[in-house]
Amino acid sequence: MDRGRGRPVSGKERPSPLAYFFVKVYSIAANTFLESVRQPVFAVIVASAVGLVVVSPYITMFTLQQSPRLITDMGLATVLLAGLLLGAFTASNVISQEIENRTVLTVISKPVGRAEFILGKYLGVMAGLVIGSYLLSLALVLTVSSGALEADIEQELSLWIAVSIFGSMFLAVCYGVYSNFFQDRPFPSRAIGAAIPLLTICFLIFAHVDTRALKDHWGAFGKGINLQIVYASTILVWAILVLAGIAVAVSTRLTVVVNVALCSGIFLLGLLSDYLFRELGKDVWLAKVFYLVIPNLQAFWVSDFLSANVRVPFSLVIITGLYAMFLMGASLFLAMLLFQERQVA
């Protein structure tokens, strides 16, 4: 007979409430992250955006020595727009559809609070967006560093980088097809998972190798890439996370189509906030309210710095990151507030 059966659990054996809270949030976040990267739309948006970034040197030909600037502007805009779509579709698919299908009841009927559910979903969506933004940023940095297709020898295009990026994407797709066909694994997540180390290896190699140099190809980190593009891409990631936070909050109440439309409107207003509401807010109180409430996405757009050959300071990355954290905290609070009274039964 087991004498230990029925014995009360001592205080040391019970998990602390804080540890139990983190375990529940982590479980929801991990499951949401897997759901995010397994969605076909996630892989389609990432692959399409990477493809547009990589082929940009070939579609900006004959621009009177302006190809490098156009490649940078097009690449940054593509990354930002792709991040907007990723955030809106991912948040809608893992939150609003789960509410509509009533599968959320199986979670909150257990000892999981609504705040814990939203926090886990929020962190899971953010993790998926970080992965997608990371791949897009790597493709952008490598593409800009490869140069442009022009007659000037200083702007000669490096085919080594372009071939490496396309080769990495091809190998990732092949691995995804193999895993899906022979191992019955989801193609999107496997392809994305394979693309991460492949593009990272390409970045680390070409960060030390300047393939366009006439001599002394090897050097310290940063010789073969433009670190200013790295800073600009990091700042764009902050903006993408802010938009994703808004998409999560909206997904607690609205459907996919309305979510995408509303996030697109906030995206446009955020980019034009300084022009539409800043000066007008001095005389019209409603414009001042809009200027304070709508996120100022112009703060995350540093393409003007790069076009004017002005260095992007690392301090700007930190400042915009703090601003993004404040906005993400506000969107998380709004998401919890909206979901608290949402009828899911």
For 269, other C-beta atoms within 10 Å of its C-beta total 18
For 101, other C-beta atoms within 10 Å of its C-beta total 9
- How high is the pLDDT of residue 87? 87
pLDDT bucket at 67, cuts 50 / 70 / 90:
low
Kindly list the domain boundaries of the chain, sorted by start residue. 19-340
DSSP result, 38-105: HSHHHHHHHHHHHHHHHHHHHHS-SSSS-HHHHHHHHHHHHHHHHHHHHHHHHHIIIIIHHHHTTTTH
For 322, other C-beta atoms within 10 Å of its C-beta total 11
Residue pLDDT, tens place only, 116-128: 888 888 999 999 9
Q: How far apart are CA 41 and CA 49, in angstroms?
A: 12
Asked whether residue 252 carries a pLDDT value surpassing 60, the answer given is: yes
Residue 218 DSSP label: B
Closest residue by Cα to residue 98 from 221, 276, 291, 255:
255
**Can you tell me the mean pLDDT for 329-345?**
82
75 versus 210: the higher-pLDDT residue is: 75
**Can you tell me the mean pLDDT for 243-267?**
86
Residue pLDDT, tens place only, 46-58: 999 998 888 887 7
Q: What is the mean pLDDT of the chain?
A: 81
Q: Which two tokens stand for residue 283?
A: 């005389």
DSSP result, 146-198: T--SSSSGGG---HHHHHHHHHHHHHHHHHHHHHHHHS---HHHHHHHHHHHH
Asked whether residue 92 carries a pLDDT value surpassing 70, the answer given is: yes
- How high is the pLDDT of residue 178? 93
Q: For helices 67-91 and 256-271, what crossing angle results, to 10°?
A: 140
**Can you tell me the mean pLDDT for 257-269?**
86
**Can you tell me the mean pLDDT for 73-85?**
89
Residue matched to tokens 């310290």: 220
- How high is the pLDDT of residue 328? 92
Q: How far apart are CA 249 and CA 331, in angstroms?
A: 6
Q: Are 245 and 323 in contact (CB under 8 A)?
A: no
- How high is the pLDDT of residue 238? 93
**Can you tell me the mean pLDDT for 5-32?**
71
203 φ, ψ to 5°?
A: -65, -45
Q: Are 169 and 135 in contact (CB under 8 A)?
A: no
- How high is the pLDDT of residue 206? 85
Asked whether residue 105 carries a pLDDT value surpassing 80, the answer given is: no
- How high is the pLDDT of residue 63? 56
177 versus 104: the higher-pLDDT residue is: 177
- How high is the pLDDT of residue 261? 87
Q: How far apart are CA 70 and CA 56, in angstroms?
A: 9
Q: How far apart are CA 12 and CA 110, in angstroms?
A: 24
Q: How far apart are CA 243 and CA 248, in angstroms?
A: 9
Report the percentage of the chain scoring pLDDT > 90: 22
**Can you tell me the mean pLDDT for 49-68?**
73
- How high is the pLDDT of residue 177? 93
E-assigned strand segments in 247-320: none
- How high is the pLDDT of residue 153? 44
Residue pLDDT, tens place only, 293-315: 888 888 898 887 877 778 888 89
The region that residue 216 occupies, defined by phi over 0 for left and psi between -120 and 50 for alpha, beta otherwise, is left
111 versus 5: the higher-pLDDT residue is: 111
Report the percentage of the chain scoring pLDDT > 70: 83
